[in-house]
Structure 1
Amino acid sequence: MDDISIIQALISEDPIRWRLLKMVRSLNLPDCWIGAGFLRNAVWDYLHGRSPSPVSTDVDVIWFDHKRCSPEEDKALETLLRGLDPTAMWSVKNQARMHVQNGDEPYLSTTDAMRYWPETATAVAVRLGESGSCEVAAPLGLDDLFGLVIRPAGKFATEKTKIYQERFKSKNWIDIWPLLTLASAPLPSIPCVKAT
């Protein structure tokens, strides 16, 4: 089974994550995914031989629409999602505006924005496609995610190292997933992995 098939099986067999994906799909937002720890943690649990841990961190809903860039729009969507499931800690961010906050050039899509995230293993996302299947986006590849490697991505390996180091310490990942290893060097340029 390849990495994408493993992700699709993990998510489709996890009733909580599947239900949350359905809720997000019901919003009909353009270029919309759930990313970061929602998927990363499930894969790391699987690789540690555990059942998926509860979705206890932010459920990072990411989408892309130049015409609806206000933070108030994202807050309204978070409120709507909390109404559907108040147990999840919803975080909604239109990636069409996030480049300003992050000091980057404008992003072209949600997947393009993920290339600027802090770690390679975190730059992953899933969504329910038109056919109801689980789609996977991994613009920095899946090698580090499945290799249990924590590696800073892009500027977090160079000019934003302090932010990366503080983030790593606060997340406590090594204690939670002891098979993880740290890598300091960024990955060479790799093509985007996107599958349905």
Structure 2
Amino acid sequence: MNGRLPLDEQIVALRSALSRNEVLLEVLARTAALRLPGWYVTAGCLFQTVWNVVTGRPPTSGIRDYDVFYFDDSDLSWEAEDRVITAARSAFAGLPAEVEVRNEARVHLWYEQKFGVACPPYVSSEAAIDSFAATTCCLGVRLEPDGRWRVYAPHGLSDVFNLVLRPNPVLAPRSVYETKVARWREQWPELTVLPWPAPDGVTDRAAVRSYGQRKGEAR
């Protein structure tokens, strides 16, 4: 499995897997042309492409949308972000996929109303990626001006290749993690899902057994 390769070889394997998704390659190229500050293509479209390649599915199978983060704290108005979204809508016209572009400098202005917990202001797109509900999701890729791929993976890539979902309880509530897990396991039943940590920090063994049983049944 690629998850057991040295990290530098995992990055090569990651690019090889992601390059199988032609829609993703087009999103990367078109986003680069927008010249957004601190941008990354991130989240599901990346790790789900890898899951598809690892499990022998078509590269775009089950991918609902393509997320683009950028970071611009020079103007936190909705109007400024909306101008970028409008420009992006034109840039991505004709693609057989939905592309969602968001300014991560503004997330703290709406996050609590949507998810019920406060979000401190992010200082970068990387900080926003750090706060995904699962560490496996903490992955971003962008094209540099010289054509190199910049990969941001603060928790490494082993879990991505090994189809392991590991909770990341730094911001998103447990309900967000479990809702996403339930949806993803319908599409990728091969996933190994680790449970949300118990409040006292002790592993919830009942949850581990439950997830393990469902994983075994799916196989």
User: Which TM-score band applies after superposition, normalised by the shorter structure?
Assistant: 0.7 to 0.9
Structure 1 residue 164 corresponds to structure 2 residue 171: no
- Identify the structure with the greater helix proportion: 2
SS at match of 1:107: coil
RMSD: 2.2
Structure 1 residue 177 corresponds to structure 2 residue 188: yes
| 2:44 alignment partner in structure 1 | 37
Residues in 2 aligned to 1:79 and 1:13: alpha-carbon distance in whole angstroms: 28
Show CA shifts across 1:121-149 (max 9, x none). 21111111122122211123223212211
Larger Rg: 2
CA gap of 1:112–1:62, structure 2 versus 1, over 3 A, is same
Residues in 1 aligned to 2:168 and 2:177: alpha-carbon distance in whole angstroms: 9
Structure 1 residue 111 corresponds to structure 2 residue 126: yes
Give the length in aligned residue pairs: 182
Residues in 1 aligned to 2:85 and 2:49: alpha-carbon distance in whole angstroms: 22
158, 162, 166: which one aligns with 1:151: 166
Query: Is contact 2:32-2:143 (8 Å) kept?
Result: yes
Q: What is the TM-score normalised by the length of structure 1?
A: 0.81
Query: Is contact 2:92-2:99 (8 Å) kept?
Result: no
| 2:13 alignment partner in structure 1 | 6
Query: Is contact 1:112-1:139 (8 Å) kept?
Result: no
Structure 1 runs of 4+ aligned residues shifted over 6 Å read: none
Which runs of no fewer than 5 residues in structure 2 stay unpaired? 112-117, 198-219
Identity percentage of aligned residues: 31
Residues in 2 aligned to 1:97 and 1:146: alpha-carbon distance in whole angstroms: 32
SS at match of 1:155: coil
Residues 74-153 of structure 1: pairs in structure 2 closer than 5 A? 74-86=81-93, 87-102=96-111, 103-153=118-168
